[in-house]
Structure 1
Amino acid sequence: MRLKVLGSGSSGNCYILENDKEALIIEAGLPFTGVKKALDFNVMKIKAVITTHFHIDHSLYSLQYVQAGIPVFEPCRPPIKYSEMRFRKGNFDIRAFENRDKSGRWLHNNGDGSECPCVGFYITHPEMGSLVYATDTEYVRWRFNGVNHIMVEANYDMQFVNREEPNYEHRLRGHMSLPTALDFISTNDNPALRNVVLIHLSDKSGNPALFKQKTEETVKYGADVYVAERGLEVDMDLCPF
């Protein structure tokens, strides 16, 4: 199993989990044509597409998959039905979890003061083991025992935020800071953790090299650390040899 990063950030998010026979698309924020190329046009191997929420950088191109007859899993679509938070296609087992704050509100900011439903995913596959995917949330309140791979948003660090920018605090709402991401990674660090991939870094308020360094200092069992960028590929096999 390999992870391919087609895009990560406000300009468009799209990731592929694939082996020789199956593929799962995480987020539909980039055109389907790019996914086809990344799969050498073997679109028959795509088992499903999953999206976290309905902002355009995550779901703009969902309809292209629907029109191609590919299942699209959108547990964030209101009204939320807890009976439909689990989805199985091929050997992929996907469970969605809600991103809410302590008061029970949806976390992600629409830019107009309102908030939209947003979920994270716990994904398992026999070749990969388990993966937690969390983005566009201020924190994750869940702990995942023995997780093998983590993909988590590390959007900004306050030392890089321009506090003179009007309404800068409003722009940060619904996104995870580096310290919060590190707390989440530390809480879920374990001997079976193989990979940590930092996703959705801000162009203005992030620093890839520093974020990677701080994460490497956080993991204690030797997990590999990556910063998601277009073209990155990561070995996600449960057993590396």
Structure 2
Amino acid sequence: MEITTIATGSKGNAYRISDGRTALLIELGIPYKKLQQALQYKTSDITACLVTHSHQDHAKGIKGALDNGMTVYATQGEIEAIGITHHRLKAIEVGKPTQIGTWKVIAFDVQHDTPEPVGYLIMSEQGEKLLFITDTYYVKQRFPAVDYIMMECNYCESVLDENLESGRIHKSLYKRVMKSHFSLENVIKFLKANDLSQLKEIHLLHLSDSNSNEQMIYEAVARATGKQVIIA
């Protein structure tokens, strides 16, 4: 499986995956022109895009993608929040497998401050499984025998606490981050609660510029799992 990070973080998110037969995008949080530039204008092989929720850093480029012939999937609640009506913008149902090219996709609910946010379990015909999770502080589901995990690790609790104490972050934002994003500590708890026996790579996404510590995150997750860790 090929995994490419195009953009990650609060300024925009976009990721490309391919099983060698079907290429998908996950998230369209950058303008479509920037997406084209990042992919050297090789977008015709992309079968579809999966969007997790309607915030602009995940959905900004949807209109441009639709206008250029790309099919986009999101839940009905997030489609309504995005506010675009288009025949290529399709609703995906939580828990219902959807076939997209050679991939089978299952959306599952997550905890975020939008109407119907989701993560995705994405399975190739070759049997490999990719788990994609972002913008949530908790995931109740457990996932056996996945091969790749792409998940948010937005902040470190110690760094966030220091920023609150020093006044670098307002208490209201502090509370929002705690209730809408994955901390390093919860990432480790989630990983330990799942079957990692087949896991090949952990891709950590959406690190906060001010509330995280990349080296701390890398070392903590690698030590806790014994797996290859890639900071996007």
- How would you bin the TM-score normalised by the shorter chain? 0.7 to 0.9
Please say if 1:187 is aligned against 2:193: yes
Judging by fraction of residues, say which structure has more helix. 2
The offset of 1:127, in angstroms, is 4.6
Query: Which one scores higher on RCO, CA 8 angstroms, separation ≥ 6?
Result: 1
**Equivalent residues of 2:19, 2:124 under 8 A apart:** no
Q: Which TM-score applies when normalising by structure 1?
A: 0.81
Runs of 4+ aligned structure 1 residues displaced above 6 Å come to none
Please say if 1:28 is aligned against 2:23: no
Question: For residues 83 and 181 of structure 1, do their structure 2 counterparts lie closer, same or farther at Cα, with a shift above 3 Å needed?
Answer: closer
- 2:213 aligned residue: 207
Superposed CA RMSD: 2.1
**Equivalent residues of 1:29, 1:57 under 8 A apart:** yes
Is the partner of 2:34 in helix, strand or coil? helix
Please say if 1:120 is aligned against 2:131: no
Q: Specify the code of the residue in structure 1 equivalent to 2:206.
A: H
Question: For residues 18 and 36 of structure 1, do their structure 2 counterparts lie closer, same or farther at Cα, with a shift above 3 Å needed?
Answer: farther
The offset of 1:64, in angstroms, is 1.2
- 2 CA distance for matches of 1:146 and 1:169? 34
Please say if 1:153 is aligned against 2:152: yes
- 2 CA distance for matches of 1:52 and 1:187? 23
- 1 CA distance for matches of 2:118 and 2:155? 20
Question: For residues 17 and 155 of structure 1, do their structure 2 counterparts lie closer, same or farther at Cα, with a shift above 3 Å needed?
Answer: same
Deviates more, 1:48-57 or 1:29-38: 29-38
- 1:63 aligned residue: 63
- Percent identity over the alignment is 29
**What is the 5 A alignment of 1:1-241?**
1-18=1-18, 20-75=20-75, 77=77, 82=93, 85-99=96-110, 107-109=111-113, 115-127=114-126, 129-161=128-160, 162-163=163-164, 164=167, 165-166=169-170, 167=172, 168-220=174-226, 223-228=227-232
The offset of 1:65, in angstroms, is 1.4
Question: For residues 51 and 130 of structure 1, do their structure 2 counterparts lie closer, same or farther at Cα, with a shift above 3 Å needed?
Answer: same
Deviates more, 1:36-45 or 1:4-13: 36-45
For residues 105-129 of structure 1, what are the alpha-carbon distances to aligned partners after superposition, in whole Å with 9 as ceiling and x for unaligned?
xx323xxxxx432100000113570
- 1 CA distance for matches of 2:35 and 2:97? 24
**Equivalent residues of 2:135, 2:180 under 8 A apart:** yes
The answer for unaligned runs of 5 or more in structure 2 is 81-90
**Equivalent residues of 2:74, 2:92 under 8 A apart:** no
The offset of 1:59, in angstroms, is 0.4
Q: Specify the code of the residue in structure 2 equivalent to 1:86.
A: P
Q: Which TM-score applies when normalising by structure 2?
A: 0.84
What number of residue pairs does the alignment pair up?
Answer: 214
The answer for unaligned runs of 5 or more in structure 1 is 100-106, 110-114, 229-241
